[in-house]
A and B are shown apart, each in its own frame.
Chain A
Amino acid sequence: MKYLPLLWAGIWRKPLRTVLTVLSLAVGFFLFGTLQGVNRAFDAALTRSKTDRLLIGPRFDTPLPISAGDVIRRIAGVAEVTWTGFLRGSYQDPKQGVLVITTDPASFFSVRHEYQVAPAQLAALERTRTGLLVLEHLAKRFGWKVGDRITIANAAARKDGGSDWPFDIVGTFTNTANPGQIDFAVGNYTYLDEGRAQDTGTVTRYVIRVRDPRRSAAVARAIDAAFANSPTPSLSLGENEFASRDLATIGDVGRLTDAVMVAIFFALVFMSGNVVLQSVRERVAEFAVLKTVGYRDRHVMTLVVSEALALCLSGALLGLVLAALVFPALGRSMTDVSAWLGSRTLSAGALAAGIGFALALTLLSAALPVWNARRLQVVTALAART
């Protein structure tokens, strides 16, 4: 604690230099944080998808029939099967798109065990044909409450004409593993399938859980083989493959972001290293005095490292906070991409990586100055003072 005034004085010895250094670091960390955020969102989209799950969709344009579920269930290694029928429409404003995933609720929430739903509300959905369980974030966005009757407009054509689908909100569910998740609601497949004019008796995709994740590729091959000569060949993919197939279309993003981050790192190491080195060099005499009055090497060392740490951390925090503020706006401007990524916010992991980067930067930039300060001969240092 008693070193604090000394530390403070050291930092503000050359105010302009300190301000410029922090600004330069902040710019670097802003870019680092943003790119890390993008990279991590991509990675998370891949790993979040559980490897014990396979998504089975049509290989070509013809959707799989609901009867395919029985075939899939009989294939060795398949633990549990659920199916989905997507209903895309809008709420109030045609531009306000809503995705309703209709399914068999019990098996859906069992296969997708990362969603938390109250058992009573799940039971309510099973009881209510027109029931709807809504992701909490979506419910908040539209102000939907349990008991509300809402209409999804401009969706699939109905047998009775029109394309409006009324739903009764029976509850909400959350996904604590991925709070930035893209919004959707869960309804009953029977309601959709009995009401729609087209594609009756077909599913958008099957979602299955395999018994042994290590055998999921073999199970996928077995399922596709079972349907290979049917009128509706299937394409079974690990959930992570589904995500990455969409992500891959953006291009080799990782290569560019990695190169940029390496470039930033080099530039920042040289800059902050030089600033610390310079500031230590200018104060050789001061350090000699400190040593003369009884400061140990490690005290001087702590002082130098703390100064470097203060510089790097304040630059890092400034830059990362800015990145966290700008990231959601970036997502909004590229809705397609953020829908793929399934994330709207800068992940905590990206922030942590930024802080880790700042610590590495501190150590690297303080290493040479510390070594110099340790080698310091008090007599020569004082003699050099003119």
Chain B
Amino acid sequence: MSRASQVVAVTAAALRGLPGRAGASLVVVIGVAAVVAVLVCALAIASSFRAAAAKTGSPLRAIVLNGDDEADSGFSRQNAGAILNAPGVRAGPGMQVVGSAEAIEFVSLVDEHSGLNAYVTLRGVGPQLQRLRPELHMSEGRMFARGAHEVIAGRAAQSRLGGLKVGSTISLPNGPWTVVGTFSSGGDAHESEVLADAETLLNAYHRNDFNSVTVALRDPRDFAAFSAALAANPTLMVKAYREPEYFATMMKPVAQLLIAIAYGIGGIMALGAVFSALNTLYSAVSSRAVEIGTLRAIGFGAAPVVISVLAEALALGAIGAALGAGIAWLLVQGTTMSAMTGVTPSQLTFALSVGPAQMLTGVAVAALIVIIGGLLAALRSARVPVAAALRMS
């Protein structure tokens, strides 16, 4: 018999024996499935968070701050005007510059799920909002009227927090403000916020300063000139960021934490699964001792036996991985989750989805578990002397 046909014959024999060891084999399948399900879920959370962070911001926009983050930053009306009129900023019809000097405040509302208080970011925006952020669409009601005590709520903020339905009111320092509409903006971080007219908001809070200025650039390449012009202005102590860069940097620590949690928990569970797979495969090998001994006695090499044990392990791992990935998909796909953003005290609500990358990582970890377990068990099987194995019967 050739090497190859030996391998095929022994492997087929091993796989045919699998149903007879159903209970033990199920342990490997369930163990691998648990690891893969948890790992894929956790990775999906991390990657969905990153995706939502990446969706926030366009290379055509720049945000200007004079602190580490928006809450930390503040500048005067004159400064905001100078930034809006810097070179590189796109002009709309009527030579109005497309930009928005924004002021943020945090409003305490009741969380729909827990019934407890939670913060939402209330952002005062300039009159050019819809030219600056064309991705923003009203999905219900209407835009707030400037000068009136009105706000519009982001889709994600509305679903997470009570008291943001169209027609309800929120309490600000100068009395109740009415929610007049709901907006969506492509699932980005702004959907977790509430927007109002900046001037009316500053009035309500007795403020006269802005937290940030966001401008539309004529072209992404104009960023360098815009940034240089701001740096050259001695009355400004500000820094400009490309919008996607800014959000990516701000959300990086949270994204990293989520990934660390995913691999930390997944890794520990995988270690446990290796021990348990090893256990099962060792006993699978010892229950096949007579068969293996007989094969070796009639001239089969050690390699086909090793390969057959590995093949059995991989078959179990594949079933486990498919099961785990399926469970993860059912649990996670299409649900939403909230997490802190690092940008503001308010939370980012994002949709969860399982992508091929997370599935592949899950499958890879499953393969790693069964290959480690399978190899160790296979080596043990190959080491057993033929005579000893046969004597066991």
State the A residues within 8 Å of B (CB).
16-17, 20-21, 23-24, 27-28, 30-31, 59-61, 228, 233, 235, 237, 240-241, 244-245, 248-252, 255-256, 259-260, 263-264, 266-267, 270-271, 274-275, 277-278
Contacts and interface: CB of A to CB of B under 8 A. Distances in A.
A264 B42 CA distance: 14
B38 A260 contact: yes
A244 B108 CA distance: 13
B66 interface: no
Contacts of B273: 24, 267
A17 B347 contact: no
A259 B41 contact: yes
B278 interface: yes
B149 to A, nearest CB: 15
Given A24-B276, A59-B171, A266-B30, 18 more contacts: A17-B282, A20-B279, A24-B275, A24-B279, A27-B268, A228-B171, A235-B108, A237-B117, A248-B347, A249-B345, A250-B339, A251-B337, A259-B38, A259-B331, A263-B35, A267-B31, A274-B26, A278-B283
B119 interface: yes
B24 A245 contact: no
Contacts of B114: 244, 248
Interface in B113-131: 114, 116-119
A256 B257 CA distance: 14
Interface string B275-296: 1101110110000000000000
Given A20-B275, A27-B271, A248-B118, A270 B31 contact: yes
B94 interface: no
B282 A248 contact: no
B372 interface: no
Contact of A31 (B111, B117, B268, B278): B268
A282 B331 CA distance: 39
B86 to A, nearest CB: 30
B64 to A, nearest CB: 23
B333 to A, nearest CB: 14
B355 to A, nearest CB: 18
* The 5 A-B residue pairs with the shortest CB-CB distance in the complex, in nearest-first order: A27-B272, A251-B339, A24-B275, A267-B34, A263-B34
Contacts of B370: none
B36 to A, nearest CB: 10
Interface in B26-69: 26-27, 30-31, 33-35, 37-38, 41-42, 45
B269 A264 contact: yes
B206 to A, nearest CB: 9
Contact of A245 (B23, B26, B45, B117): B117
B138 to A, nearest CB: 28
B268 A263 contact: no
Interface string B336-352: 01111000010100000
Nearest to B31: A267
A20 B116 contact: no
Contacts of A30: 268
A136 B305 CA distance: 66
B338 A24 contact: no
Contacts of A271: 27, 30-31, 276, 279
Contacts of A240: 116
A16 B280 CA distance: 11
A248 B269 CA distance: 26
A245 B38 contact: no
B27 A274 contact: yes
B224 interface: no
B265 interface: yes
Nearest to A228: B171
A27 B339 contact: no
A263 B27 contact: no
Given A264-B34, A274-B23, A20 B282 contact: yes
Interface centre among A16, A28, A250, A266 (most CB of B within 10 A): A28
Interface string B190-208: 0000000000000001000
